Amino acid sequence: MLEIIGAGIGAERIPSLAPFSAALSGDRPSFVAAEGERGPMLASLIAAGRLVPDRGEVLLDGRTDPEALRRAVVLVDTPVVAEPAPSLAVRTVVQEELRFAARPSRRRDAEALLTSLGLERWSCAPMLDLPPTDRVRLLLELAAFRDGVRALVLTSPERHGGHASGWRRVAEEFTARGLPVLVIGGAAVPESLPAASAAAPTGSLR
């Protein structure tokens, strides 16, 4: 479905993002480690068609189609680009995302969604206080409402703390529902996953 082949940014000798590869199908989520402080953000932008790599390519269903890629792949919790402000109330973030997805976005709509996810007690709390696994689940759920979405790119969930098994389990659940998740993070991503699931910056995972 989604394949990234040797995509990188910057000069080959001193790249802003070292070339990386990844593959995402409907069978299981994929996990990729990107080098550098900005690596996960840059790699996520490439994976979702928001940034054209200096080398390599990104294929959707075996084809290069940037416009289709941008429609099909949604960025989730990507720093600077798609990251909720930490001081915003959880309910406010939900309302904004529902509005962006052209869904009913009144206060009661946001409250109903939070209740359905068992997160109603966090409604008035700032996003900063939402537990890491709950944060990932909520933001993936909201991204899934977007029209035409076929895949989700979750950026650096490890930066919020918590155990990797939590957000990994959520990524597996969404993939099982038919919406595969590509997790792009820093060095802590492969260290917290089983050896068979670790991806080097130039490796791929199916």
Burial of 135 (0-12, 13-18, 19+ CB in 10 A): buried
183 assigned to some structural domain: yes
Q: Mean pLDDT, consecutive 10-residue segments, the chain of 206 residues?
A: 95 90 90 91 97 96 94 97 97 97 97 98 98 98 96 96 93 96 82 40 33
Task: Give which of 141, 131, 122 is closest to 166, Cα–Cα.
Answer: 131
> What CATH number is attached to the domain comprising 14?
3.40.50.300
pLDDT at 82: 95
Express each pLDDT in 123-167 by its tens digit: 999 999 999 999 999 999 999 999 999 999 999 999 999 899 999
pLDDT at 187: 73
pTM of the model: 0.90
Strands laid side by side in the 2-10 sheet: 15-24, 2-10, 55-60
Domain of residue 189 covers: 2-84+148-197
Domain count, the chain: 1
Structure tokens belonging to residue 103:
């869904």
